[in-house]
Structure 1
Amino acid sequence: MPRSPRLPQLLTCAVLGLLACSARASAPSPAPDSLQPLLVTLNERLSMGDLVALTKWDSGRPIQDSARETQVIANARKIAVDRKLDPDEVAELIAAQIEASKLVQYGLIAHWRAAGKAPDTPRPDLANQIRPQLDALQNRLLQQYADFAPYRHDPECANWLAKERSGLIKDSLHGQALIRATGELCVADL
């Protein structure tokens, strides 16, 4: 049987078509629109840790405040129930935010101790200014978390998170804290 002169062209087209299809199939899906606002809020909350550190430096109070942490997590659990979120998952998320903030505070205070002084910047009042801002941020954070929650089990979640988070990191201390703050966002199905 004579070979068709078009057979090599047809085979080449078929192979190129398969390669194009597999490239499209392996291309990661884009991050959901709900991820970036959530990360911005988490980052904003971490920046508030700088102010908390200043007030604790000035007052000499310890960074660890178990009573306040318990209160913040309990409040988040109540909001979770109202928003039809899993209270245990929300408690883990908020605990991660608290741990990330403490990481920033410990790091900054250690740096200031080594330098012998803290920055000479205005200090807002912890109870009357900073905590109300943190409470408002937590409310926004939980709404944004609710918007992102359907994507937490997506196989691409960790990749989205790594990519989107990288643009928010301002220094190594805050970068490590942001990694900790986002540690509960993606759930790997094993």
Structure 2
Amino acid sequence: MPNAHTMARHLLFSACLFSIAACTSNLKASPPPAALAPLLGSISERLTLADQVALTKWDSGKPIQDSPREQQVIAAAARLAPGYKLDADDVSRFLAAQIEANKLVQYALIAHWHAAGKAPDSARPDLATQIRPRLDQLQVQLLQDYAAFAPYRQAPDCPEWLGQQRARLAKDTVHDLALVRATGELCIQTK
């Protein structure tokens, strides 16, 4: 049985090899397609709107979970999918991920505000007349951007592209985690 010193050397050697492989794979990664930045920008914008949605839910006391509205949004996107040459099931999963990421932001913010005993003193746009119409417009933009990126989803470099581009959009822990959730299924790894 190897002693602790030998095991430590093996672990260090393995870590070095892993680091070299990781660096080498990053050097080999092709540049991200131009279609990725607009898609991530639209996703990030939708997550920023979650802050305003959270404020309206805080003020109204309404629950974050709104299953009927979520189903409407997903069904509407699925109906539009063929017009963008997208599969309706893929679009449904993509929109469901956006909604889950949005709720992640809302839950985190409202929990933080409960802990602080108050929400921020900022403007409160109306959910029905201001925020939802913007979300509906953004949904069309998301579908356009998703369709433009769709040919790259199976590219071997897709996960590296996402990691690099998400790092550029870093805002705070909550929004960063939500961005990971929103993009978690963008890349399709085939084996």
Does the alignment pair 1:70 with 2:71? yes
In 1, Cα distance between equivalents of 2:101 and 2:152: 22
Q: Deviations over 1:99-140 (max 9, x none)?
A: 000000000000000000000001000011000000101100
Higher Cα Rg, which structure: 1
Equivalent runs, 1:167-182 vs 2, <5 Å: 167-182=168-183
Question: Which stretches in structure 2 are left out of the alignment for 5+ residues?
Answer: 1-23
In 2, Cα distance between equivalents of 1:145 and 1:180: 16
SS at the partner of 1:176?
A: helix
TM-score (norm 1): 0.86
Q: Deviations over 1:7-59 (max 9, x none)?
A: xxxxxxxxxxxxxxxx8xx6211100000111011000000000000000000
In 1, Cα distance between equivalents of 2:104 and 2:167: 18
Q: 1:164 corresponds to which residue?
A: 165
**TM-aligned CA deviation for residue 79 of structure 1:** 0.9
Pairwise CA RMSD of aligned residues?
1.2
In 1, Cα distance between equivalents of 2:33 and 2:83: 24
Q: 1:134 corresponds to which residue?
A: 135
**TM-aligned CA deviation for residue 84 of structure 1:** 1.6
Q: Deviations over 1:36-93 (max 9, x none)?
A: 1110110000000000000000000000000000000000001102222000001000
Equivalent runs, 1:9-158 vs 2, <5 Å: 27-158=28-159
Percent identity over the alignment is: 61
Q: 1:8 corresponds to which residue?
A: none
**TM-aligned CA deviation for residue 184 of structure 1:** 1.7
The residue type paired with residue 78 of structure 2 is R
In 2, Cα distance between equivalents of 1:121 and 1:27: 46
**TM-aligned CA deviation for residue 157 of structure 1:** 0.2
Large movers: runs of 4+ above 3 Å: none
Q: 2:7 corresponds to which residue?
A: none
In 2, Cα distance between equivalents of 1:110 and 1:160: 32
Between Structure 1 and Structure 2, how many residues are aligned? Answer: 167
The residue type paired with residue 66 of structure 1 is S
